[in-house]
Chain A
Amino acid sequence: MNARTGILGAGLLLIERDLRLAFRRPSQVFNPLVFFLVVTTLFPLSLSPLPSQLRDIAPGVLWVAALLSSLLALEALLKSDAEDGTLEQMVLSGQPVVVLVAAKTAAHWLVGGLPLVIISPVAAMSLGVTPAAMWVTAEGLLMGTLTLSFLGSVGAALTIGVRRSSVLLSLLVLPLAMPMLIFGARATDLAIAGEAASGPLYLLGALLVFTATLAPFAAAAAVRIGIE
Chain B
Amino acid sequence: MLTAENVHLWRGDRHVLKGVGFSLSPGELLHVSGPNGTGKTTLLRVVCGLAQPEEGIVRWRGESITALGSSFFEDIGYIAHDAGLKGDLTARENLSFAARLRCVVTAAEIEAVLAALNVAECADIPARALSAGQRRRVALGRLLLSQAALWILDEPLTNLDTAGAALVLDLIARHVGTGGLALVAAHGELATRGGRTARLELA
Contact = CB atoms under 8 A, between A and B. Distances in A.
B80 A5 contact: no
A96 B71 CA distance: 10
Contacts of B104: 2-5
Contacts of B82: 84-85
A91 B51 CA distance: 13
B78 A92 contact: yes
Interface residues of B, number: 32
Interface in A77-103: 81, 84-86, 88-97
Contacts of A21: 86, 88-89
Chain A interface residue bracket vs B: 20 to 34
Contacts, number: 82
Q: Which of A94, A95, A227 has the most CB of B within 10 A?
A: A94
Nearest to B97: A17
A149 B178 CA distance: 46
Contact of A228 (B51, B74, B83, B88): B51
B142 to A, nearest CB: 8
B50 A94 contact: no
B122 to A, nearest CB: 18
20 contacts: A2-B105, A3-B103, A5-B103, A9-B100, A13-B97, A14-B101, A20-B93, A84-B82, A85-B80, A86-B84, A86-B85, A88-B84, A89-B98, A89-B142, A92-B48, A93-B98, A94-B73, A95-B101, A228-B45, A228-B50
Interface of B: 45, 48, 50-52, 70-74, 76, 78, 80, 82-89, 93, 97-98, 100-105, 142, 147
Q: Sorted from nearest, which 7 A-B pairs have the closest CB atoms?
A: A85-B84, A94-B74, A94-B73, A2-B103, A24-B88, A93-B101, A89-B84
